[in-house]
Amino acid sequence: MSSPITLLKTGIKAPDFRGLDQDGRTFGLKDYAGRKLVLYFYPKDDTPGCTAEACSLRDEHAVLRKLGYEVVGVSADEVKKHKKFATKYDLPFRLLADPERTTIEAYGVWGRKKFMGREFDGIIRTTFIINEKGVIERIISAVRTADHAQQVMSGDPPPVKQVVALGSRSGRPAAKAAQRESKKVAATGAAKAKKPTAPSSKKTVAGPSIGKTKPGQSARKVRA
């Protein structure tokens, strides 16, 4: 018989958990205070769907970290099996070993399942997005294993940076500021083009003709 499922919902405190990771180190939910956590529950190590899901989160792990997420996987596998799985696929995040199903049942993901016409009790693949205050922000029950990382990030797209012109207090885009500057420069250029050139300060004085000098001879004033 399956254990009764605890129905969790968004907006409530996530159940606390504590256990061993693949390296035999003790850790828990409190270790992620102040950070967002992707807590994903999966049926079994090194099975096709679970491997695809883990590898998707592995491949986008650096991006998830930049968005402020930590990742923890949970299954009923023992520590040794977690270690083998994490080493085989070079997983950069922790896997919680929960053979007693303490955390699994606290999150309500143990229940009746159907697979290839057969019914049995097991872990229902589910992901919980827990915010910095330990509150459940999202619950993903229809998990897409092959692109689960994108599924997680789709609810928290990276902010689009707006390019603003330097010195602009209004926050208008730089493109508009550049257009205004271009018009200003064009107007200034036109004004300069219309401005008359200053006359030469040298005056031509009429006087008696002066004969041409030969090379090497200094010019002399010729009397009329």
CATH, domain 18-153, list 2.60.40.10, 3.40.30.10, 3.90.1300.10, 3.40.1160.10? 3.40.30.10
Residues of the chain with pLDDT under 70: 1-6, 156-224
Specify the pLDDT at position 6. Answer: 53
Decide: 153 and 65 in contact? Cβ < 8 Å: no
Write the CB contacts of 35 (distance below 8 Å, at least 6 apart in sequence): 68, 69, 70, 132
150-182, pLDDT tens digit by residue? 999 997 544 444 333 333 333 344 444 444 544
Q: Buried b vs exposed e over 68-101: b needs ≥16 C-beta within 10 Å?
A: ebbbbbbbbbebebbbebbeeeebebbbbbbeee
Enzyme catalytic residues: 50
Specify the pLDDT at position 210. Answer: 41
**CA 38 to CA 34: how far, in whole Å?**
13
Type and span of the H or E element at 122? strand 118-123
Decide: 68 and 35 in contact? Cβ < 8 Å: yes
Decide: 9 and 39 in contact? Cβ < 8 Å: no
Sketch the domain layout of the chain as residue ranges: 18-153
Q: What is the pTM of this model?
A: 0.68
**CA 209 to CA 222: how far, in whole Å?**
8
